Amino acid sequence: MSPMKLCVPGDKLCSTEDCIPGTGVYLRHGYIYSSLAGYVLRKNEGEEVRGVVAAVGRRVRHVIQLPVISVVRETETQLLPDVGAIVTCKVTSINPRYAKVHILYVGSTPLKDRFRGTIRKEDVRATEKDKVETYKSFRPGDIVLAKVISLGDVQSNYLLTTAENELGVVVAHSETGVQMVPISWCEMQCPRTHNKEFRKVARVQPEYLQA
């Protein structure tokens, strides 16, 4: 790996004809400038730009691959939950209409600070939305995998949904305080007391199952 170049905010890196902007950079007047203090990273898996060239009456398509240029730092900058991102959150309170959660991880990156989110009753599952009871889907203290559907408006928090098979409760503790084992998409069982409790359980990805 060639020694990486240091750059500071405002450094002109290259023009938009040579590279495609990635993260940590911005465009101005057809040039790419750095917006962070860090190292310049040039990756060659850029987008393919197809150009159509008319040559001697024939149309020849040629593919140009532009490298992606981005600036990276040692420590990762704070990531914000974006629309469509899978987030890991902890349920803080429930209500017949919605459940309030604290977003802890975005993807696999932990957040330094907790963001607040809401899972509405109609976003808990995809079918039979009107018959959902939040008390039977989540409980305070559960760890839930959800997807961000909206950043919310001025008054509300991030809006999340668990209306997919892979989304829902991942870790839950029973009333006795023991971690429960999922038995179906809507039930979990306590290994000590064998009590079944209702939750909206996330389907475990096949790669994580030890058969």
Residue 75's contacts (CB-CB under 8 Å, 6 or more residues apart) are none
x-or-dash pattern for other proteins, window 92-131, by CB under 8 A? --------------------xxxxx---------------
**Which ranges in 52-204 belong to alpha helices (H)?**
none
Residues touching other proteins, count (CB under 8 A): 31
What is the C-alpha separation between 93 and 71, in angstroms, rounded? 40
In the list 15, 77, 165, 179, the residue contacting other proteins (rule: CB under 8 A) is 77
| Cβ-based neighbours of 33, under 8 Å, separated by 6 or more | 10, 11, 12, 13, 25, 26, 27
Q: Which two tokens stand for residue 127?
A: 């079918």
Q: Is 168 in the site for other proteins (CB under 8 A)?
A: no
For other proteins, the closer CB: 38 or 182: 38
Among 13, 32, 33, 68, binds other proteins (CB under 8 A): 33
CA distances from 187 to 144, 167, 178 (A): 14, 14, 15
By CB under 8 A, tell whether 10 contacts other proteins: yes
- Residue 27 touches other proteins, criterion: CB under 8 A: no
- Residue 71, phi then psi, degrees to nearest 5: -115, 130
Binding pattern to other proteins, positions 126-155, x when CB under 8 A?
A: -------------------------xxxxx
Residues of the shown chain interacting with other proteins in the complex, contacts defined by CB under 8 A: 4, 6, 8-10, 12, 24, 26, 28, 33, 35-39, 73-75, 77-78, 80, 112-116, 151-155
